[in-house]
Amino acid sequence: GAERLTLRETLSAMEALLDPRLFERIHRSRIVRIAAVAEIETREPGQYVVRLESGTCLGSGPNYRERVRQAFGLRA
């Protein structure tokens, strides 16, 4: 909804608390719920645009290329 919450924690610490079967880190500042991903578009080598069911588009980081490939079954 319109409510916003603020949490003072590193993303790495939050990632450690999440189930890796349900969530994937795609960028140093982004974690997505795998089931909420509607589409993945390939951009520059090693970079992807992840479109969520809500219509939000998020860029992946090049350091997370392999993690995105494995989580979503993409080919190199």
* pLDDT of 53: 97
* pLDDT of 45: 78
**53-74 residue pLDDT tens:** 999 999 999 999 999 999 999 8
The mean pLDDT of 18-42, rounded to a whole number, is 96
Number of H helices, E strands in the chain: 2, 5
- pTM equals 0.84
The mean pLDDT of 16-40, rounded to a whole number, is 96
Cα–Cα distance list, 2 to 5, 9, 64, 75 (Å): 10, 22, 30, 38
- C-beta separation of 69 from 63 below 8 A: no
* pLDDT of 54: 96
* pLDDT of 7: 85
